[in-house]
């Protein structure tokens, strides 16, 4: 199915106007996030893989053109759209890279109508997936390497495609599994699942429910113990574990109440029964702050399912992302809107030690110790490299989190590093802004 119409109408009206006037010179658009959500000290770039797949396949099919004709797009514009493909270049930071406010996540250079039409899709993918990846990374920070995390978000994500993205991005950030079976198949992840309270309720006796489940799924025998009384549930699960010889494979899951306190009580019962290898899994509205509290309190939580608050990025459900024209037909441009002024020209981000970043003009030479973040990932509408394996971006996230300043990584009151603008980019900005004020009649 074509995705060409997954865009805002004004992209079509602008592109048709460009085509009518033969405004097809090369245009560069820059996608970035103006400011970070309150309390966040960094972002983890996500969405690039979906963006590149979309750009490679972009085309308007006959049904798309027929619909556009029905809503008033003229025949001349439709002719131009009928043969339009994405033929441009894309520079981007690889998925899993830590970035900060104002830094381009990607830049598109293509004939103006092409670069304009892809705005909505690129913003949607990069904005949502960067928010989710950052939330997942924050959860990993909260877990501090002591609690294994599983994606439980599918039933609460805002759409099934979003659920697939959350599963992939959480795995990229270090989650060990997902409840989403299709995501596990598609991305080579570990499918993870236990039982619901409905399963326990369907049996007249809780012990019978546990025994039946263990008999049918001996390698997946995780018992949900809080349907009625959690401590009694633990004791009944212990009976079944001993009766069926599951001492080395079983686990308990607690989904309600004071999870930390109940985990401590469950651990005590398990240890008293000689079941040191039985793990405790918790779930129920968790986020990075809950995980950090478990760790700080020394609660014996071995694994956790993180769902709703991850899948909808509950504390930051959107990012203030932008996709702005910065160059057209060899002319650097910028907008001067109050509070939304932009930096002109194609750019690069130069990263120094300790995340001392400089936003530079593309082509500026890095200083000693600096590395450029944006890479040429698409040339003339084709990827420059095959899609990278998830393991590569997972390693990138792990390296980013290990090197971020503690002040940026903090879960409460984080302080984000602030990139600076190079002298060359500042000089270009002053020139372009001054010229724009002159054209508008505004005081220089």
User: Rounded to an integer, what distance in angstroms lies between the CA atom of residue 243 and that of residue 221?
Assistant: 13
Per-residue tokens: 362: 């593309």
pLDDT score, position 438: 82
Q: Spell out the residues 6+ positions from residue 261 whose beta carbon is closer than 8 angstroms to its own.
A: 299
**Mean pLDDT value across the chain:** 96
Domain 9-132+316-440 classified CATH 3.90.79.10?
A: no
pLDDT score, position 437: 87
Each residue of 311-342: pLDDT tens digit? 999 999 999 999 999 999 999 999 999 989 99
The helix-helix angle for 390-403 and 119-143 (nearest 10°) equals 60
Strand-pair partners of 222:
251
β-strand 177-178 against 148-151: which pairing, if any? Answer: parallel
Each residue of 194-250: pLDDT tens digit? 999 999 999 999 999 999 999 999 999 999 999 999 999 999 999 999 999 999 999
CA distances, 369 to each of 303, 350, 408 (Å): 39, 10, 21
Domain 194-283 classified CATH 3.40.1280.10?
A: no
DSSP state of 251: E
Contact yes or no for 393/50 (Cβ under 8 A): no
User: Rounded to an integer, what distance in angstroms lies between the CA atom of residue 303 and that of residue 395?
Assistant: 21
Each residue of 85-139: pLDDT tens digit? 999 999 999 999 999 999 999 999 999 999 999 999 999 999 999 999 999 999 9
DSSP state of 191: B
pLDDT score, position 227: 98
pLDDT score, position 71: 94
Q: Spell out the residues 6+ positions from residue 120 whose beta carbon is closer than 8 angstroms to its own.
A: 6, 7, 8, 11
Each residue of 128-168: pLDDT tens digit? 999 999 999 999 999 999 999 999 999 999 999 999 999 99
Which of 208, 185, 186, 184 lies closest to 195 in space, CA to CA? 208
Q: Is the pLDDT of residue 295 over 70?
A: yes
| Tally of CB atoms within 10 A around 261 | 13
Confidence band (pLDDT; 50, 70, 90) for 260?
very high
Which of 19, 123, 28, 126 lies closest to 68 in space, CA to CA? 19
The helix-helix angle for 62-70 and 75-82 (nearest 10°) equals 160
The yes-or-no answer to whether 9-132+316-440 and 194-283 have a common fold is no
φ, ψ of residue 412 to 5 degrees: the values are: -130, 130
Sign of CA dihedral 239, 241, 247, 249: negative
Q: Which contiguous run of DSSP H or E holds residue 265? A: helix 259-272
SS3 107: strand
User: Rounded to an integer, what distance in angstroms lies between the CA atom of residue 391 and that of residue 371?
Assistant: 22
CA distances, 68 to each of 24, 86, 110 (Å): 21, 19, 23
- Would you list the domain boundaries of the chain? 9-132+316-440, 194-283
Which of 294, 32, 343, 31 lies closest to 142 in space, CA to CA? 294
Each residue of 418-443: pLDDT tens digit? 999 999 999 999 999 999 888 766 55
């Amino acid at each position: 199915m074509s995705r060409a119409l997954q865009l805002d109408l004004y992209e079509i009206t602008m592109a048709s106007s460009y085509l009518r006037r033969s405004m097809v010179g090369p245009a560069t658009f820059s996608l970035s996030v103006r400011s970070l959500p309150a309390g966040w000290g960094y972002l983890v770039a996500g969405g690039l893989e979906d963006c590149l797949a979309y750009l490679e396949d972009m085309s308007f099919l006959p049904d798309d053109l027929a619909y556009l004709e029905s809503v008033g797009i003229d025949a001349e514009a439709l002719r131009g759209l009928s043969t339009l493909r994405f033929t441009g270049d894309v520079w981007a930071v690889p998925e899993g890279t830590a970035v900060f406010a104002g830094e381009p996540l990607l830049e598109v250079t293509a004939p103006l109508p092409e670069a304009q039409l892809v705005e909505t899709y690129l913003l949607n993918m990069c904005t949502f997936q960067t928010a989710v990846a950052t939330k997942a990374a924050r959860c990993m920070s909260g877990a501090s390497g002591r609690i294994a995390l599983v994606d439980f978000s599918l039933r609460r994500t805002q759409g099934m495609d979003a659920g697939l993205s959350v599963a992939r991005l959480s795995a990229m950030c270090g989650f060990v599994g997902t409840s989403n079976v299709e995501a596990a198949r598609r991305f080579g992840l570990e499918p993870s699942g236990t039982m619901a309270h409905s399963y326990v309720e369907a049996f007249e006796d809780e012990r019978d429910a546990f025994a039946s489940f263990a008999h049918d799924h001996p390698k997946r025998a995780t018992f949900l113990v809080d349907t009625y009384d959690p401590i009694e549930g633990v004791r009944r699960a212990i009976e079944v574990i001993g009766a069926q010889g599951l001492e080395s494979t079983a686990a308990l899951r607690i989904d309600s109440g004071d999870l930390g306190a109940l985990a401590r009580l469950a651990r005590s019962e398990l240890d008293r029964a000689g079941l040191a290898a039985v793990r405790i899994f918790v779930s129920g509205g968790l986020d990075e702050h809950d995980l950090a509290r478990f760790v700080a309190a020394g609660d014996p939580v071995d694994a956790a399912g993180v769902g709703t608050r991850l899948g909808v990025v509950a504390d930051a459900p959107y990012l203030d992302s932008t996709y702005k024209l910065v160059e057209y037909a060899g002319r650097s441009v910028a907008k001067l809107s109050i509070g939304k002024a932009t930096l002109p020209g194609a750019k690069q981000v130069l990263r120094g030690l300790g995340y001392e970043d400089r936003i530079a003009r593309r082509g500026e030479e890095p200083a000693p110790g600096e590395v450029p973040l944006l890479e040429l990932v698409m040339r003339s509408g084709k990827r420059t490299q095959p899609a990278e394996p998830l393991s590569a971006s997972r390693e990138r996230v792990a390296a980013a989190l290990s090197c971020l300043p503690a002040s940026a990584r903090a879960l409460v009151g984080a302080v984000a590093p602030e990139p600076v603008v190079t002298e060359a980019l500042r000089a270009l900005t002053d020139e372009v802004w001054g010229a724009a004020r002159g054209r508008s009649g505004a005081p220089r």
